[in-house]
C-alpha cells in the first residue's frame, strides 16, 4: 500500500520503519525535516515537506504525534493531511489523545470522504522497535478490517474496542493501571531496601507469584539499579494522566490513586526527571534527583 506516516518520534520512527520493511511504499513527514531525512536514509521511501503532500495519493495515513493540538495541526491545518489525501483514504491515529478529539476528527473525516480510526498503542519504545505493540482501536468495524493487516506490521495484538473514541478510552484504562502499579512497585522496592533485603533476589521470587507483572519483571531490576534513561518519559505520562483525569471528571469516575500518582510525577518533574522513565517514581521515596 501507499502509506503516509506523520510523526517520527521515538515511537513513530521505528513503526514507519516496519511498514517499509514489509514492502509498503512509505512517505514520511516530521516537523523537524532532518529527522525525516534520517528516516529515508535508513529505510528508503520518501519524505514530504508538509502533511498534505505526504498524504497525496496515499491509501492510508498514520499519525503519531504529541497531543490533541499537534494532531489537529497535522490533519486539519492549512497544510494538513486532510487537504492532500484522496477520497476513500483511511486515517489511523496512534497519538495518545483525548476521546473527544478522536470523535471530532472522525466526524470531519467522514464528511470529507475519509475513514478514521483512533488507535493508541501500548508497549513503549522497545515495543515499537521490536514490532510487538498492542493497539487499541476505535471506529467502524469495516474500517478496522481494512487497517488491521497494516497495523500488524508493528503490533502483536490489534483489537477493535468499539466506536469512535473507544480506543483512546481503552488507552486511558491502560495508563491508570500502570500508574498505580508502578507506585506500588516503588513502595515495595523502597521498603525492601530499607529492610536490608537482597532486592534482586526478592523480585525474582515474587515475580513467580501473585505479585508478578510485566512492570515488575522489566522495570523492577532497573529500579533497583536506579537506571531510568530509557522507556516512557514522565512528561508523557503526566500528559496521559491529565487526559484520564479530565475524562473522569466528565464521566463521574473516581480516580483517587491516579490523581495522587499524577502529583508524584509532578514532583519528579520538579526534581529534574521529566525525561526519565515512568518507573523513576521510586526516586521520590529515595530522595534522589535525576542524574
What pLDDT tens digit does each residue of the chain (291 aa) get?
999 999 999 999 999 999 999 999 999 999 999 999 999 999 999 999 999 999 999 999 999 999 999 999 999 999 999 999 999 999 999 999 999 999 999 999 999 999 999 999 999 999 999 999 999 999 999 999 999 999 999 999 999 999 999 999 999 999 999 999 999 999 999 999 999 999 999 999 999 999 999 999 999 999 999 999 998 999 999 999 999 999 999 999 999 999 999 999 999 999 999 999 999 999 999 988 766
The verdict on whether 171 is a catalytic residue reads yes
According to CATH, the topology of domain 2-163 is Rossmann fold (3.40.50)
pLDDT for 140: 97
CB atoms within 10 A of CB 160: 21
pLDDT for 13: 98
Domains 2-163 and 169-284 share a fold: no
Using an 8 Å Cβ cutoff, are 173 and 162 in contact? no
pLDDT for 260: 98
Closest C-alpha among 58, 59, 33 to residue 48: 33
According to CATH, the topology of domain 169-284 is 1.10.1040
Which residue's entry shows cell 531490576?
A: 221
Q: Alpha carbon 39 to chain centroid distance? A: 19
Task: Read off the pTM.
Answer: 0.95
pLDDT for 102: 98
pLDDT for 251: 97
pLDDT for 22: 98
Q: Which of 22, 35, 130, 171 is the catalytic position? A: 171
Positive/negative CA dihedral, 139, 143, 144, 147: negative
- The domain spans of the chain are 2-163, 169-284
Amino acid at each position: 500500500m501507499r502509506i503516509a506516516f506523520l510523526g517520527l518520534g521515538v515511537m513513530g520512527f521505528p513503526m514507519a520503519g516496519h511498514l517499509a520493511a514489509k514492502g509498503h511504499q512509505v512517505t514520511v513527514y516530521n516537523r523537524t525535516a532532518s529527522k525525516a531525512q534520517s528516516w529515508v536514509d535508513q529505510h528508503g521511501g520518501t519524505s514530504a515537506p508538509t502533511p498534505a503532500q505526504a498524504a497525496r495519493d496515499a491509501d492510508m495515513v498514520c499519525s503519531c504525534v504529541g497531543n490533541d493540538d499537534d494532531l489537529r495541526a497535522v490533519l486539519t491545518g492549512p497544510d494538513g493531511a486532510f487537504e492532500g489525501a484522496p477520497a476513500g483514504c483511511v486515517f489511523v491515529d496512534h497519538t495518545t489523545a483525548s476521546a473527544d478529539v478522536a470523535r471530532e476528527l472522525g466526524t470531519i473525516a467522514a464528511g470529507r470522504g475519509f475513514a478514521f480510526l483512533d488507535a493508541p498503542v501500548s508497549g513503549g519504545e522497545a515495543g515499537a522497535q521490536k514490532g510487538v505493540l498492542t493497539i487499541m482501536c476505535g471506529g467502524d468495524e469495516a474500517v478496522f478490517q481494512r487497517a488491521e493487516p497494516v497495523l500488524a506490521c508493528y503490533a502483536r495484538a490489534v483489537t477493535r474496542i468499539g466506536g469512535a473514541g473507544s480506543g483512546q478510552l481503552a488507552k486511558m484504562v491502560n495508563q491508570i493501571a500502570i500508574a498505580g502499579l508502578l507506585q506500588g512497585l516503588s513502595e515495595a522496592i523502597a521498603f525492601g531496601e530499607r529492610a536490608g533485603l537482597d532486592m534482586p533476589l526478592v523480585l525474582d521470587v515474587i515475580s513467580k507469584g501473585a505479585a508478578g507483572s510485566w512492570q515488575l519483571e522489566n522495570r523492577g531490576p532497573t529500579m533497583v539499579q536506579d537506571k531510568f534513561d530509557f522507556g516512557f518519559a514522565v512528561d508523557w505520562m503526566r500528559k496521559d494522566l491529565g487526559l484520564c483525569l479530565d475524562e473522569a471528571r466528565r464521566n463521574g469516575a473516581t480516580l483517587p490513586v491516579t490523581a495522587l500518582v499524577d502529583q508524584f510525577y509532578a514532583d519528579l518533574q520538579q526534581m529534574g526527571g521529566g525525561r526519565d522513565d515512568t518507573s523513576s517514581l521510586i526516586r521520590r521515596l529515595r530522595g534522589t534527583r535525576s542524574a
